[in-house]
Structure 1
Amino acid sequence: MLRVCFTAEDLLRVRFADEPAPMVELMLAVATLQRSEAVFGLWRRRMGRALTRSAGPLLELVPATGKGPLFLDPPIPGFDAGLEHVLSTPTALVRSELHRVHARDRAPSPWTRLLADRDRDSWQNLEHALRTAHTHIVAAPWERIRAGFDAERAWRTHLLAGQGIHAMLTGLAPTARWRETTLEFDSTDDVEVSLDGTGITVLPSVYWTGRPLVGRYAQGWFLVYPAVTPLPDIDDPTSTDTLAMLLGRTRATILEQLLRPRTGSDLVRDLGLAKSSVSEHTKALRAARLITAQRDGKAIWHSCTPLGLELLACLPESRGKPA
């Protein structure tokens, strides 16, 4: 269980990041390379081939859990500024973070030991790996990353204004819940974080589909969570269809179809989608609390939740025609 303890002062200091953080997206993408989510299957095969040699060292540092060394993913705008921050990390912090990661996820390799000793060649290899991985993983799809972030931020800001901070934060993960002033997330770890009046910054990632992550950086506490729509499902960033930018074209179309209850078979027939595709997309919409599912005999009926109806109502002018 991950527990984040808020004071009244913390709740007043919850902020949403102004823009995506390239180093955070980069490190979570490296973690995703080692995971098995179907939505990233094609991307993983393509990136795996491109990065195995040039950026392979990053796989020694960042585990599939996404809980790599905090000095590698400063949550600040701009890759150049982030890279400079990484390369200037104090040696004591490098050693403590590498020790933390190695103690829980993997044994240190000779290369990571050299990093801890501040070996010049090892740090040059790290810089080369970061630059190469950034070119392929972040720079190339940056417009789509930014468009997905902007749509996500607009939706969460709308929830904050309409339903308050408690509702906005519990909407970040399907298992999130409040116990008095403590926000709980299901986790394989048993961790309690006390913000102690400093507040926290909320940062979505289009490369992450796992549980929310909380870390304390020089910039303060950050809560990183998976955006509603992962990168492979983000549409053309030039689109004016805000709903499709937030959910992806297919999920936006499904949500519109569920203004009245429909079965999975109805969606397969009417939208011309494979049964497996409908199942994947409705699962994602349920996780975002936008639809519900109820079994009636052999049929499963899907319908919009009040939150889903609110999303459709707040973006009427931006929806395009379903594909």
Structure 2
Amino acid sequence: MREQVITDPHAGHALLKLQTLVPPVGYIPDFLTPSVREGGLPAALEEMEATPPTRLKRELGRLAGARPLPAWTTGLGGPGGGRSMRSLVKALDVSARTLLAPRWTHIRKAIDDEVGLRSRALLDGGVLALLNSLRPLARWRAPVLEVDYPTDRDLRLEGRGLLLIPSYFCWRRPTALADPALGPVLVYPVTTRPLDVIPVNDNGLDRLLGRTRASVLTELARGHARTTSEVATAVGIALPSASYQLGVLRDGGLVASRREGQYVRHSVTPVGHILLDGDEGMRGGTAAASGPWRELRCE
């Protein structure tokens, strides 16, 4: 994929344009992440292109206060800014086709698995179970949902519903729209990640347990107890392989299994969590171990 970006001048130019408005850390203008529930990317690009100039000017001004912006960005919120906005929309479209399209099957599967996981929590235990299932990314302490986030902020729902959006590209911590007047949205990292995108750490858990077994253990630690088939689907391995890997982890005291009706569900033991925490420490720490909490008050 990197080679494709290097050899494709259109893709390289599009990414350079987007990097101007999407820094690796810090504020990202809300208009770049429209909350479109239907229609996919075309609908999102259409909504973004229709962003009112006053909003563009306000959000770009906030971004400019944190980092210098090139001259072309001033045209987005000014008179006759349609051409600049169309160019930005085109850059997003090119980037999506270059970077996302080749891996869209994996991305879509991870999102679908996440929606299924949270839906089961909601059906089995109601809203409380759903909110509790977000640990350790968020903690429900009525009437406040405390969310791990790098800045302090209170967001009052004031009767509005909270839209939960699982994201394949949201890493370590959840995020939310910066403008409190917009619809309350909480974007959080997906629980599942396909096996072939889990990085190998030569000095950590992958080397100790093997890549597949480490992926199974990591997957189990990201949510509620899972069945063997759920683990196989989430990690992207065959059912017999998942059963074997779970058996090895259980024999090693890292996984516990219990029968619930016709299903056997697996979860990580305290020893397994200690092992995972140690590996995360080598990788740079866990999301829950650093940073203050953002509060979403459910009122």
Taking structure 2 as the reference length, what is the TM-score of the superposition? Answer: 0.63
Q: Does the CA-based 8 Å contact 1:159-1:168 persist in structure 2?
A: yes
- Of the three residues 143, 148, 151, the one matched with 2:113 is 151
Give how far 1:153 is off: 0.9
Q: Which of 114, 135, 157 lines up with 2:97 in the alignment?
A: 135
Between the aligned partners of 2:23 and 2:61, the Cα distance in structure 1 is 14
Q: Which has the higher contact order (CA 8 A, sep 6+)?
A: 1
Of 228, 245, 249, the match for 2:237:
249
- Equivalent residue pairs, number: 227
Cα drift, residue 301 of structure 1: 9.4
State yes or no: 1:53 paired with 2:16: no
| 1:186 alignment counterpart | 148
Question: Which aligned pairs between 1:187-266 and structure 2 lie closer than 5 A?
Answer: 187-215=149-177, 220-230=183-193, 233=197, 242-249=230-237, 256-257=246-247, 260=250, 262=252
Work out whether 1:162 is the aligned partner of 2:139. no
Matches within 5 A, 1:1-323: 45=2, 49=6, 51-65=11-25, 67-76=27-36, 77=38, 78-103=40-65, 105-117=66-78, 118-215=80-177, 220-230=183-193, 233=197, 242-249=230-237, 256-257=246-247, 260=250, 262=252, 290-294=267-271, 300=275
Q: 2:56 is aligned with what amino acid?
A: V
Q: Is the 8 A contact 2:30 2:59 kept in 1?
A: yes
Equivalent pair of 2:27/2:63 in contact (CA under 8 Å): yes
Q: Secondary structure at the match of 2:123?
A: helix
Query: In 2, distance between residues paired with 1:301 and 1:141?
Result: 27
Q: Which runs of 5+ in 1 are unaligned?
A: 1-42, 235-240, 267-288, 303-323
Match of 1:314 in 2: none
For residue 107 of structure 1, give the secondary structure of its aligned residue in structure 2. Answer: coil
2:193/2:234 contact within 8 Å kept: no
Q: Deviations over 1:246-287 (max 9, x none)?
A: 3443995687337735268x9xxxxxxxxxxxxxxxxxxxxx
Unaligned runs of at least 5 residues, structure 2? 199-228, 256-265, 278-299
How far is the alpha carbon of 1:161 from its aligned partner? 1.9
1:146: Cα distance to partner? 2.0
What residue number does 2:213 align with? none
Please identify, of 147-156 and 215-224, the stretch whose mean Cα deviation from structure 2 is larger. Answer: 215-224
Supply the AA of the counterpart residue of 1:246. A
What CA RMSD, in Å, does the superposition of the two structures yield over aligned residues?
3.6
- Pair 1:136–1:220, CA change in 2 (3 A): same
Q: Contact (CA 8 Å) 1:209, 1:226: kept in 2 or not?
A: yes
- Comparing 190-199 and 174-183, the one that deviates more: 174-183
Note the C-alpha offset of 1:71: 0.9
CA gap 1:184/1:218 in 2 versus in 1, 3 angstroms: closer
SS in 1 for 2:24: coil
Q: Give the distance between the partners of 1:252 and 1:67, measured in 2 at CA.
A: 40
Q: Which amino acid aligns with 1:257?
A: G
Q: Offset of 1:172 from its aligned partner? A: 2.5
1:124 counterpart letter in structure 2: R
Identify the residue that residue 4 of structure 1 maps to in structure 2.
Answer: none
Q: Percent identity?
A: 31
Alpha-carbon deviation of 1:229?
2.2
Q: How many Å apart are 1:176 and its aligned residue? A: 2.0
Structure 2 CA distance, aligned partners of 1:180 and 1:291?
Answer: 27
